[in-house]
Amino acid sequence: MKRFLITGADSFIGRAIVRRVLDRGDRVIAVVMRGVEFCPISQISSSDSPNELTFASSNLPRPARNLPKIPSEKSTAIRIVHANMDEYANLADMVGEKNIDVCIHLAWDGARDGRNDPVRQAKNVEASIQLFEGVVKLNCDVFVGAGTQMEYGSLYEKINEEAECKPTTEYGRAKFEFTKYLLENAPKHGIRPIMPRIFSIIGEEDRVSIFASVLDKMLVNEDIDLTEATQLWNFIYVEDYVSGLLQLIDKGGSGIYNFASLDTRPLRKFFEVAKKIVGSTSVLKFGAVAYPSTGKVSIDPDISKLVQFGYEGFTPFEEAVKKIVKRRREG
């Protein structure tokens, strides 16, 4: 049994990790912002899940009963710690543990609405370093970050982990700064660093990405203004991300790993496939939205390193969309 400390546990990626870790029989200390309710709060009575508990979070715009559930017998394996990122310098004391096996750091302020805010992004780096220093005191064995393809900047060729990073946003620069810090300092403390560089994740609980927004409009047959969407893109299903991440944790992975699927195609093709699966009458208005002044971003990730490590459980895009649509329609 491993002991996991997970920041940003209430994010859609965090929830998927928490659920899987609990399913394995591991323990979780879930760190969430103050003011966010994130705990097993009530028993759900239904024919298919009479003895399950559900997570509730005050920052999700839907009823608790539609959120992922955990069996009630596992509810004692999770403990919630409320702490904002500016409190991470004291998090080791707040956790109240002597040892943590794995820290997964997902929390990050301004990932969407503050990508070019240098002050907010600098505070993220500072808090992340303070978190790392804290888990050193907790005898942490593995520290997992949450990198991004935005660390690479605008590249127009196959992107592997050796590509030179030239981030064009403050968000990308801050993530890259912490990546360098972690890879340099973790080995000094006997900690194994894992830095996934995430390209584009989709999942049932994603409500903020462009793909989620487009899908929600398709479900109500609303016409959708889009760019030409000719750039290459790649989506990975969140459960595949979690599986790959846990494999790296369990089997000695170390360093930077691109996280994407095996399926790269023009972005518009993904949208067209999703529309067909939904059976939507939405008009996809390609070209109605101009690309930003910085130009279009095209991603073509090379995931050879992850595949060579042994991960091969990739869900086809079509299957992932069907799962997401099913959940949307149920909720």
Alpha helices in 161-293 (DSSP H): 170-185, 210-219, 238-250, 267-278
User: Architecture of 3-207+234-264+300-316 per CATH?
Assistant: 3-Layer(aba) Sandwich (3.40)
Q: What is the pLDDT of residue 126?
A: 98
CA-wise closest residue to 322 among 198, 201, 203: 203
Sorted by where each begins, the domain ranges of the chain are 3-207+234-264+300-316
Q: Estimate the crossing angle of helix 170-185 against helix 118-137, to 10 degrees.
A: 20
Q: What is the pLDDT of residue 243?
A: 96
Tens of each residue's pLDDT in the chain, 331 residues: 999 999 999 999 999 999 999 999 999 999 999 887 765 433 322 223 333 344 444 443 333 333 345 554 555 689 999 999 999 999 999 998 889 999 999 999 988 788 889 999 999 999 999 999 999 999 999 999 999 999 998 887 899 999 999 998 999 999 999 999 999 999 999 999 999 999 999 999 998 899 999 999 999 999 999 999 999 999 999 999 999 999 999 999 999 999 999 999 999 999 999 999 999 999 999 999 998 877 788 899 999 999 999 888 899 999 999 999 999 998 7
Q: What is the pLDDT of residue 39?
A: 52
For the entire predicted model, the pTM comes to 0.89
